[in-house]
Amino acid sequence: MRFTFLGTSAGTPTASRNVTALALAVDGKRDWYLFDCGEGTQHRLLKSRYSSARLKAIFITHVHGDHCYGLPGLIASANMSGRKEPLTICAPDGIEQYVRNTFAFTDVHNLRFPLHFVRTDDQGFQYDDGQISVQAIAMSHRVPCFAFQVKEHPVYHLDESALDALEVPRGPLWGLLQQGESVALDDGRLVRAEQVRCAAWAPRSAIIGGDNDKPDLLLSALQESDLLVHEATFTEDVLARVGPQYMHSTAAMVAKTAENAKLKHLLLTHFSQRYRSGSGAKEYSVNDLYKEAKLYYQGNLQLAEDLQSYQLEKDKALTRL
Amino acid sequence: MRFTFLGTSAGTPTASRNVTALALAVDGKRDWYLFDCGEGTQHRLLKSRYSSARLKAIFITHVHGDHCYGLPGLIASANMSGRKEPLTICAPDGIEQYVRNTFAFTDVHNLRFPLHFVRTDDQGFQYDDGQISVQAIAMSHRVPCFAFQVKEHPVYHLDESALDALEVPRGPLWGLLQQGESVALDDGRLVRAEQVRCAAWAPRSAIIGGDNDKPDLLLSALQESDLLVHEATFTEDVLARVGPQYMHSTAAMVAKTAENAKLKHLLLTHFSQRYRSGSGAKEYSVNDLYKEAKLYYQGNLQLAEDLQSYQLEKDKALTRL
């Protein structure tokens, strides 16, 4: 699973960071998924390996503009580029109205592809396209906001020795068993898939968080996750000064949750624009966020950068590409 | 008058060009004006000398997304940055609804500064802030669209020899005369401003066009203009192939109008994304647009580039900064 950060700034863009968006692709596949879509996401995509033509679904964590103002332009540009495939947009209440109103007032009337909006704030929301499944976990923020737990579907290998032992003849029956079907042999015996196949690797699972001031809400989901992408808008000292009303997390808060969950990989993002990159940073540096998180978290800690990709390997190692 | 192009691409951004936006400032003044505001305009501003804090007014030519999808983000960011000054937005029907609906659905409820929308499609629209006046000229496009004719107010010098000849005593009366007032002298004579002051230079005037397939609509306004910024989306060969339904101009069409008007300076912009910059350009190059316009126009022809500024000097020369 390849995570590419298209924006890592909170609220407003900076000269080096855009507002929030994240591309996810499963290994070498060209189809991809977009998580949040701040203004300028389509611009960032022009510098990435992804194009709107192969975008399979969009997931929006919440209605704040730095997470969704790129939607109308991205969709309109995909339309001008000739996209015909339907596009699924999973988002809370408000996003569909925002997009459809925008189009109504700006002369976008006949998209060449349908938009399928799915409400993430509906009970029982689940996205599943046979490659990944996505569930929504309610966060704590100024508006309804959701983290997305992404799980890949297992890929199965057939156990040839088991097939031979059961005397299953080579051919279409093998294919059916690999797909999870049970098959009846000529001699009347029934062979079930789980007798002859096993997952090629333990499926990977990651959580892509939304804005949130209670990282512990993710504690139980993290038990079955390899990686967490979560906002760390402030350091503790800054939060103490600006106050809690914006309902964001500090690097320390997220780090403590990740440590409690014994999480393998933590990717922090969504940094307040006051934190600057590079060694010339004056008052506030993104290094402050790193240092603060490091105090509380023993796992693999990374601070996201725009256009940086991370590959969660099948063996659960995380490779910075 | 300093014109800074924040985006020069038609419809969709490219790796090197953003969609339409143009900053205008009068000489050294820090207040500035924005003409059109495609997605990513606030990002481009971060690389310019302009900030949303000193933005005096926005003019939107028409409702198409590549000319207005940057508005909500720009306004929201100005709000987060603490702007308190009212902001005037001159735009045709649809823009106010688009912005207000966007804010309603994305949790932007209490801006710290008021938005004053002024309809450019109302008869008699005029913007005048004492520094510049702006009038709207109807264009021909798929939706109502307007070019903006910008005129600076004259700056007056007092003619001291005329004042002495008329025996106007130095002091407050001089100030009133410079401001255009008539004054009564102690001996009962009335002195009118035009007797003792003259414009320090002939006021500059420019037209910033919207999308338009009939440049001749500007012919009469161009008689009193020093500079035209106009779209040249296609070359003639490309227009012949894509057809006229998008209602854009070719470089040749605009050049012919400019030549007929004996225009001093023509700045072409809004190029289809198929035209690439640089010497490595393959099939289509922005040079094709330049060469085509040059065939028909003898004046000063420039092709706009993102983040490039042009200064229209008081003597009407155009300096590429």
Tokens representing A75?
């969709």
Verify whether residue B122 is a known catalytic residue.
Answer: no
Chain segment A95-111, per-residue pLDDT in tens? 999 999 999 999 999 89
pLDDT reading at A283 higher than 90 = no
Tokens 């933590």 locate to A266
Q: How far apart are CA B304 and CA B268, in angstroms?
A: 6
Task: With CB atoms and an 8 Å threshold, state whether B80 touches A11.
Answer: yes
Length of chain A: 321
pLDDT reading at B250 higher than 60 = yes
The pLDDT assigned to B29 comes to 84
Mean pLDDT along residues B255-272: 98
The pLDDT assigned to B280 comes to 62
Distances (CA, A) of A237 to A251, A269, A289, A290, A292: 11, 18, 11, 14, 10
Q: Is the CB of residue A195 less than 8 Å from the CB of residue A158?
A: no
Residue A279: band (very low, low, confident or very high) from pLDDT cuts 50, 70, 90: low
Percent of chain B with pLDDT over 90: 95
A283 φ/ψ sector (left φ>0, alpha ψ -120 to 50, else beta): alpha
On chain B, the residues whose CB falls within 8 A of the CB of A40 are 39-40, 43
pLDDT reading at B45 higher than 80 = yes
The pLDDT assigned to B279 comes to 64
Chain segment B128-154, per-residue pLDDT in tens? 999 999 999 999 999 999 999 999 999
Q: Which domains does chain A have, with CATH numbers?
A: 2-155+200-320 (3.60.15.10), 156-198 (no CATH)
Chain segment A238-265, per-residue pLDDT in tens? 999 999 999 999 999 999 999 999 999 9
pLDDT reading at B54 higher than 60 = yes
Tokens 């949040």 locate to A36
On chain B, the residues whose CB falls within 8 A of the CB of A47 are 15
Q: Phi, psi at residue A158, to the nearest 5°?
A: -85, 145
Residue B270 in marked binding region: yes
Tokens 């109302």 locate to B122
Mean pLDDT along residues A68-87: 97
Per the prediction, chain A carries an average pLDDT of 96
Chain segment A43-65, per-residue pLDDT in tens? 999 999 999 999 999 999 999 99
**Which residues does A contribute to its contact with B (CB < 8 Å)?**
11-15, 18, 39-40, 42-43, 46-47, 63-66, 68-70, 72-73, 76-77, 80-81, 94-95, 97-98, 101-102, 105-108, 142-143
Q: Is the CB of residue B60 less than 8 Å from the CB of residue B83?
A: no
| Nearest residue on chain B to A95, alpha-carbon basis | B105
Q: Considering only residues B58 and A281, tell me which one the structure prediction assigns the higher pLDDT.
A: B58
| Nearest residue on chain A to B12, alpha-carbon basis | A77
pLDDT reading at A280 higher than 80 = no
pLDDT reading at B281 higher than 60 = no
Q: Is the CB of residue A37 less than 8 Å from the CB of residue A73?
A: no
Q: What angle do CA A124, A127, A130 make, to 5 degrees?
A: 130
Q: What is the DSSP string of A219-273?
A: HHHHTT-SEEEEE--B-HHHHHHH-GGG---BHHHHHHHHHHTT-SEEEEE-B-T
Chain segment A1-32, per-residue pLDDT in tens? 999 999 999 999 999 999 999 999 998 788 99
3-state secondary structure of A306: coil
Give the helix/strand (H/E) hosting A287.
helix A286-294
Chain segment A162-213, per-residue pLDDT in tens? 999 999 999 999 999 999 999 999 999 999 999 999 999 999 999 999 999 9
The pLDDT assigned to A15 comes to 92
The pLDDT assigned to A27 comes to 83
The pLDDT assigned to A281 comes to 54
Q: Which of A181, A254, A180 is nearest to A212 (CA)?
A: A254
The pairing of strands B309-312 and B318-320 is antiparallel
Q: Is the CB of residue B313 less than 8 Å from the CB of residue B319?
A: yes
**Which residues does B contribute to its contact with A (CB < 8 Å)?**
11-15, 18-19, 39-40, 42-43, 46-47, 63-66, 68-70, 72-73, 76-77, 80-81, 94-95, 97-98, 101-102, 105-108, 142-143
Which residues, including other chains, have CB under 8 Å from residue A196's CB and lie 6 or more apart?
A: A158, A159, A162, A163, A166, A168, A177
